[in-house]
Structure 1
């Protein structure tokens, strides 16, 4: 009718405009891509997106905008993928410049799939906000029935039946909003978002873009969490956290660990909950941590803002779990049946929990005799925000006799579960760790057997129910904490002695004990040429038994030059000045020559003779028989 306005209400008018624009845009994009005009198609898509990215509408229907916006990226990405687009050779390789404002990613379908998933997630957030605002209206007016698309693109009408008469009635914006919201709530967007992120993930992986693929994995994990599929969510969050730690992305790691904490709680895994919580509490603070509103809290996830108070609360939550304290919200009650009497955490040099607790051990000496006392310094460092009271420290070595325990005098008694039999226990006035400050302790131990004495680990018992086992580190080879490396903090050394701090080692060499066996070589006087000269040798065990001993004899030229004759020279030469003829032993007060096999070990200027087993206090003697064929000065060496 002429003069009659058919203009729709504002919300429906905006929906109609976007629907028509969408139709024209995809027609134009398809024609450009099929004509091989890739740059023109991407440029057209940019203009299309820029024209409508801020046309959101009222907050109640913002979810419709994000759904439409997501669809633009999805369909254009599919068009890019199906037309097998490539970057034209004529295009400047300098992306993002005045010559070429496009980016390299805009030629990849994965870029559009990732943004499609991201904007579809925005729709889910908007639905959560719209649902809370629309509850009252829906309860009063209800949801209109028999709503269907009109014959005109982007329009909706309500089917009204009265008897045999069927008529189409227009919708008010309130009715349309209620209808659109009820339809949106019927479908679970999470699984569609997961499918889009997975599509982008696979595409980025094929391109070798690991970081972008990791971002898509994080998106999938968040959606699994939203869909209450905590097992799959935890698996993906764990894989993503590894990259965040490696890259040092603390803000992303904070958010990621917040989800992992919640997944562990939902999966009834208190040990994982404690581990992730301690790692969160030990993360460095970073700027931009303001107060949260409801919308920001939804987007940042369960971790919340990384403020100092939030870190302290997380640390206290761990203590509450360990002490079986029920929270006001009943958050940790489910752990009561699953948590063990004692929770054990193992921390090595590559563990993400290393910033929670680090143990540095240094011996004050480089070598020591067996049984001698020596000093060892044990230093602990924590980045937790609140002080940590340690009930006891147990220091373990590769020689268990050297193990010792330091017990806090503040505790009334030793924990009943500790096996401290045979270990040295020392009471210490206080074992309290303060954030970013070394707690230095010095203890005297008695060296054990000869060989290497190495400190293996330091076990700290906290709140009587948490045992953290830190692999001992040498101050000389300690590495920095990657996430704390560039923070504005005062650097401290693990020991007050700077020499130990830069060169101290967690191991020491225990020397061989001094032999308690006497070897006596007697000489009656000078020898004459042609005389059979005998020299008595006595071996006496003073404190060490002798097993499988060998007596080595060497005749050395007194003027230098080593042995008088080598074995080969002795065989070839018939004339030599001095000759070792043999060895005779005393057995039951009778002299007897060695057996033939022993005699064969005597070769002119050197020999080896077996020594029988000697117990402590026993002795054994023999006589060396030497003959001079010509006058010559020699030195005789006998060793056991």
Structure 2
């Protein structure tokens, strides 16, 4: 029995379309006919009517029509559905035959052509032999016809042609061969589709008419057959709703049939066909839940209808096909726009199909396990005269026999044997792998990683059973990572066991060693005796010997593998295998830990390597190497013990490299860092542990970084969350979980043994040369050399501070913009033990605010580390924050000559400029001198001399000056007139003499100047005596260019009597004199 027997027939799975045949077209030699045919069948869009076209000759013989029955009284059906019926109505019996004929309405030989056309139509009718197939005629014309009713000749000749051909007017068409051919063809198609609809409607009525002759006693099969045919014709008619309704009825009728071992296969076959149709139409109607419900009902009905126990593998094959077909339908619906979800997608159906395929494989292995001497029956009971069965689901040796009793048990026995022998030749693994692959693709698409991994394991196992070990290893190796990362150790052990068998049967050395290492480890759930066997095999491989076969392997495959292993032993090549363990869980664990996160360069770097074995027996390793990011340190961290390969499992109580299962071995290392690595990180890049030796085979386990494997992070997390108290261990042992990997350390400079002191008098004053005294004293036991000083503004502060801060070593000259903010690497010589030096640093701060200053001292010193002489560069830095403040506040005001406050001054009238310098410094300030620099618009009344030379101001004290000025008339100046600058030269009183004097320039405020026409000035003595005369003189000055007419009146006062003119009218003389006579003592006003 062919394995493709369970595939659904193509005619069942395709979309039924109306079948129309075209005759009279010569598509090979006639270009016009070829163009017409191409327009029908080439590049059909989805919106065109669903018709299947075929070009046939006019005298083609169609399948004969069986004579119609008038009674079913004595008719006994031989089966449900014939194997050729669906194909017959899809591809052999047309719904419409179209006769194409080239004939124009103005044809000169019309009669002859009309007769020839009628003859062709008659030939077609005879070849249909009484079927209800419709016939139509299409006239291919060269000219475009006139609109209906306008061409009288065409109307008359069309009626005559219809009479000659016995056609109705609706069955005659005209096809002009013009540029718009496709448009005419589409209109023809629509007309053909209507004719086809009528044909299938007639067929449905014909089949329905048979029902009245049937009875349920003897015609149960016919009820199913007729209902299926009605549904199928409805599909051809594109009436999918009625088709679905009739398929559901047919499905129910199938399950009403009496089932027996002799007909169970036919019942299941038809049930499967009808179920497929129902599910397909449900998906087509966008009702996926109905499809799923129908399929579940179908499986529930049929899963226990196994049939013959000797052929139970057929039931598994049938079940597998049901799930696969539904998965295909589901997937096709998704591609057409249906939305699936994680919990309901085609992957589950492909998975179940694979499950039944695996069950089929197991049943076949049990039931078809005949001796090699059993021969295939001759003649073949599975062969038929036509090569195909008459009815779906029947046995070839008893077709059409519906009796429940087996008339010929011997023939039944031979038939079953033939099926079993053919089943034995089926490649089950190939089918299983295909189904699992489909399921994996679906679960990957819908993001179900665990389901995907589970099925990939099954695929790998099937490849193993199919002896395709390479693909099996590839798949198993892929999924191992997922199970390791999630800690599914039992599943991982099972997968590793299969992978070990594959690697053994292919004699893959590295893979065999890798899987053996992991199966011996803590992640493996194998028993100790199994681990001992694997450990022994691993040692044999390292000794360049063949391992023992893995259990439960195919005998022939083992023999082939033994030859491959023998070849591996004889071949010369590299015997060193390096295996990175970060992606799996070997039987040895490794952790590296530096003693401290940082080491001074003059202290040896110390770290420990911890090793722990999880194998069943003690084991000896041959070499341990630690690699660093600076490879020059690698040479100091190697442990090697010479041993023979045979000693790997012997003498295990001696030597550092002997590991006892469950015990932690600590190996300590130390080395001296290089001085050029100061400030750098030393990192362990890998740890290599060698098992075996180069004389045989050597396996190098490589841990990246400071150790750890695929399970380490998960175990560390569990240990951190655990509240379980650890048992007490001896002093020389440690708990493995308490060891934390520390794979890197920092090399820092030697601790300096010097003192750095800063002496200064804060705060700093703006623009002064602020002195910072740096004292460095050596406390080293030997001379230090190449001492260098870096001092100034600490980098990383505000850029404005950098631009306004300047540093120098020379305090005798003022810093300008060219001086830097930080002086670097100032050489200061060597220092002997106890010796100290002082360096004076001068800082000029141009703005107020806080600044952080850095003083960094570096030096070289010779020292011995582990009896090795090295030169260490030491450094020490001090920082200090210095506040900068203004040295003094300067207040400026304008007053009259009577010391009255002025908001404005008058042109050519003297006024006073007063300055007041208030000390804001906590230290005494010495004002060396002051200077008034007048603007061109101002003039002095008397000589300008400093009145505060060498004045010492304490905190809060002030010094004032007064200057008499005059401003000539300048007209109206917007914003006032510039006065000039006030320059104060000063220094700290405590500063040394060679410290330069600081000049602070104060910009004086502008003043508003007004012009007055008349100026009055009184000239009087500074005091007078009571009852004595007091002369007073008034000066009047005209400030304009015009003669002014002024009237002056003098008012008497109680304090004075006066003699002189009481009222005057100008112009008059330039001045007037009055004699005052004081009446009272004190300050009086006249």
Shorter-chain TM-score above 0.5: yes
| Separation in 2, partners of 1:117, 1:239 | 21
| Separation in 2, partners of 1:383, 1:487 | 21
| Separation in 2, partners of 1:444, 1:480 | 31
| Separation in 2, partners of 1:51, 1:376 | 72
| Separation in 1, partners of 2:380, 2:574 | 55
1:168-227 CA deviation, whole Å, 9 max, x = no partner? 987644323321123223443333333333333333333233333334434444444444
Asked if the contact 1:74/1:113 (under 8 Å) is kept, the reply is: yes
Partner SS state of residue 240, structure 1: helix
Asked if the contact 2:500/2:512 (under 8 Å) is kept, the reply is: yes
Asked if the contact 2:600/2:748 (under 8 Å) is kept, the reply is: yes
Aligned to 1:290: none
Aligned to 1:363: 594
Asked if the contact 2:312/2:363 (under 8 Å) is kept, the reply is: yes
| 1:45 partnered with 2:45 | no
Aligned to 1:134: 370
Asked if the contact 1:105/1:111 (under 8 Å) is kept, the reply is: no
| Separation in 2, partners of 1:491, 1:263 | 41
Aligned to 1:591: none
Of the two structures, which has the highest relative contact order with CA contacts closer than 8 Å and spacing of 6 or more?
A: 1
| Separation in 2, partners of 1:459, 1:413 | 18
Asked if the contact 1:63/1:127 (under 8 Å) is kept, the reply is: yes
State the 1:243 CA deviation: 2.4
| 1:404 partnered with 2:637 | yes
State the 1:111 CA deviation: 1.9
- TM-score, normalised to structure 1, is 0.63
Asked if the contact 2:381/2:415 (under 8 Å) is kept, the reply is: no
1:280-310 CA deviation, whole Å, 9 max, x = no partner? 3325355xxxxxxxxxxxxxxxxxxx44433
1:312–1:32 Cα change, 3 Å: same
The counterpart of 1:62, out of the listed 312, 326, 333, is 312
State the 1:67 CA deviation: 0.8
Asked if the contact 2:687/2:702 (under 8 Å) is kept, the reply is: yes
Alignment map for 1:484-495 (pairs within 5 Å): none
State the 1:490 CA deviation: 9.7
| 1:438 partnered with 2:671 | no
Give the structure with the higher percent helix: 1
Structure label with greater radius of gyration: 2
1:257–1:510 Cα change, 3 Å: same
Asked if the contact 1:150/1:157 (under 8 Å) is kept, the reply is: yes
| 1:276 partnered with 2:526 | no
Partner SS state of residue 473, structure 1: coil
| Separation in 2, partners of 1:150, 1:122 | 27
State the 1:345 CA deviation: 1.3
State the 1:272 CA deviation: 2.1
State the 1:270 CA deviation: 1.4
1:142–1:489 Cα change, 3 Å: farther
1:211–1:339 Cα change, 3 Å: farther
| Separation in 2, partners of 1:28, 1:116 | 19
The counterpart of 1:509, out of the listed 746, 761, 786, is 746
| 1:325 partnered with 2:556 | no
1:284–1:237 Cα change, 3 Å: closer
Asked if the contact 2:342/2:448 (under 8 Å) is kept, the reply is: no
1:340–1:87 Cα change, 3 Å: same
| Separation in 2, partners of 1:193, 1:203 | 16
| 1:244 partnered with 2:478 | no
| Separation in 2, partners of 1:106, 1:70 | 20
The counterpart of 1:457, out of the listed 662, 670, 686, is 686
Aligned to 2:608: 377
Partner SS state of residue 123, structure 1: helix
Partner SS state of residue 546, structure 2: coil
1:584-614 CA deviation, whole Å, 9 max, x = no partner? xxxxxxxxxxxxxxx9999799966765999
Aligned to 2:352: 115
1:381–1:414 Cα change, 3 Å: same
| Separation in 1, partners of 2:282, 2:371 | 45
Alignment map for 1:382-393 (pairs within 5 Å): 382-393=613-624
- TM-score, normalised to structure 2, is 0.40
State the 1:69 CA deviation: 1.3
Asked if the contact 1:370/1:513 (under 8 Å) is kept, the reply is: yes
| 1:203 partnered with 2:437 | no
- Comparing 30-39 with 314-323, greater Cα deviation is found at 30-39
1:323–1:173 Cα change, 3 Å: farther
| Separation in 2, partners of 1:85, 1:566 | 69
State the 1:378 CA deviation: 1.7
Asked if the contact 1:551/1:609 (under 8 Å) is kept, the reply is: yes
1:426-466 CA deviation, whole Å, 9 max, x = no partner? x9635333444422333454455453444333321212211
Aligned to 2:380: 145
1:362–1:31 Cα change, 3 Å: closer
| Separation in 2, partners of 1:569, 1:25 | 93
| RMSD (Å), alpha carbons | 5.7
Question: Unmatched 5+ residue regions in structure 1?
Answer: 90-102, 161-167, 287-305, 416-426, 520-534, 556-564, 583-598, 635-640
State the 1:233 CA deviation: 3.4
1:25–1:626 Cα change, 3 Å: closer
| 1:188 partnered with 2:427 | yes
